[in-house]
Amino acid sequence: MKGKITIIGGGSWGTAIAQIFANNGHEVLIYVRNQGLKNDINELNINSRYFPEIKLSENIRATDCLEEASTYGDILVLAVPTHVNREILEEIRGNVRKEQIIVSTAKGMEEETFLRNSQIIKEYLDNPIVVLSGPSHAEEVMWGLPTTVVAASKDKKVAQLIQKSMMSSKFRVYTNPDIIGVEIGGAIKNIIAIAAGISDGLGYGDNTKAALITRGLYEMSKIGAAMGGKLLTFAGLSGMGDLVVTCTSEYSRNRNFGVKIGEGHTLAEALKEIGQTVEGVRSTKAFYRWYQKGNFDFEIPITSQIYKVLFEEKDALQAVEDLMLRCPKQEIEEVVKEDNWQL
């Protein structure tokens, strides 16, 4: 089925999603605020800021009118950071039709409310929602390298529609009903990626990063299960898959930001050098504060130490030492309980 697609947000990922839909024959309208960027897309078929060397599909055009964009597509993709979602939703709520499918791509949790992006959307729109997540750097998608993601929705038919609309020989989409787990995985992996970047910035090696990824996955699954996600989801694309790529890739903003912190830059300096939204910074604050307000029977040591490094000016080397010297633990408590291990 070929249709009309709206992409709200002309950043790197918004552009990559537009290219995916357009290459499948859909007519795509991208909303961008910058008039120069709009002109470049419409007149030169390029996103001059993010992909100046890559020609965009002729099925893509741009607008700087949010009303036009929000009423255009049968599918409306929100490709803006979590902290921008409310501003956009407030502006478009009066224009969106009931039958439009909303696709959420942001990977974070709101700092003040601890709401996931799909929950924020629900406050403004009574539309079917799909969460798109997984290991998907925009650069590699634009280069046509094989990529696999997950489309999560409470509505199976809606998830499958997005799946069919985006699938190609270069872009594979799986479906999942666990919208909570998919969103939490996508948010937590950015925190762990900052930790992995700090490790790189400090000059640590593969052993350290492997430990961070593995223990980060365990931390992610604990938080995710506490928030209502399914444990197996965190072994999937939006959990382990996205965690691996974000912790290891040169294209990862969160990892690269962490490298700057590990090298001794301040929070403000590191953010300025990256020059784009680093979702993991806000997610660190959100999940740390969420945890502090609860009464949980598990710990979140990596998130806690990253919070202290970013917001309490804790020395990164000291944070690593404190992580390593925590009191002895079982690796996986559930395994110990299942085996009734007697010490």
pLDDT given for residue 328 in this prediction: 84
Per-residue b/e over 238-251, b at no fewer than 16 CB within 10 Å? Answer: bbbbbbbbbbebee
pLDDT given for residue 334 in this prediction: 75
pLDDT over 80 (residue 343):
no
pLDDT category at 141 given cuts 50, 70, 90 is very high
pLDDT over 90 (residue 118):
yes
pLDDT category at 341 given cuts 50, 70, 90 is low
Cross-strand pairs, 77: 7, 103
pLDDT given for residue 333 in this prediction: 76
What angle in degrees, to the nearest 10, is found between the helix axes of 179-201 and 301-311?
A: 60
How many alpha carbons fall within 13 Å on the CB side of residue 197?
33
pLDDT given for residue 166 in this prediction: 98
Question: What does the pLDDT average to over 272-294?
Answer: 95
pLDDT tens readout for residues 302-318: 999 999 999 999 999 99
pLDDT given for residue 335 in this prediction: 73
Instruction: Give the full edge-to-edge strand order of the sheet including 75-78.
Output: 60-63, 27-31, 4-8, 75-78, 101-104, 129-133, 147-152, 171-176
pLDDT given for residue 202 in this prediction: 97
Q: Which two tokens stand for residue 324?
A: 């390593």
Question: What does the pLDDT average to over 178-196?
Answer: 98
The residue ranking higher by pLDDT, 212 or 342, is 212
Report the distance separating Cα 98 and Cα 59, nearest Å. Answer: 25
Report the distance separating Cα 165 and Cα 328, nearest Å. Answer: 49
- Greatest Cα pair distance, the chain, in angstroms, is 71
Domains along the chain? 4-177 (3.40.50.720), 180-330 (1.10.1040.10)
Neighbouring C-beta atoms of residue 97, cutoff 10 Å: 12
pLDDT over 60 (residue 1):
no
Q: Is 189 a catalytic residue?
A: yes
Report the distance separating Cα 135 and Cα 147, nearest Å. Answer: 7
Q: Where are the alpha helices (DSSP H) in the chain?
A: 12-23, 35-39, 66-72, 85-92, 117-124, 138-142, 156-166, 179-201, 206-226, 242-248, 253-262, 267-274, 279-292, 301-311, 316-324, 333-339
pLDDT given for residue 331 in this prediction: 82
Question: What does the pLDDT average to over 246-256?
Answer: 96
Q: Which two tokens stand for residue 320?
A: 């690593």
pLDDT tens readout for residues 64-114: 999 999 999 999 999 999 999 999 999 999 999 999 999 999 999 999 999
pLDDT category at 2 given cuts 50, 70, 90 is confident
pLDDT given for residue 199 in this prediction: 96
Choosing from 38, 189, 222, 285, which is the catalytic residue?
Answer: 189
Mean pLDDT of the chain: 95
Query: ∠259-255-305 over CA atoms, to 5°?
Result: 75
Asked whether 195 and 304 are in contact (CB, 8 A), the reply is: no
| pTM given for the model | 0.94
Burial of 301 (0-12, 13-18, 19+ CB in 10 A): middle
- Report the percent of the chain where pLDDT is more than 70: 98
The SS3 call for residue 154 is coil
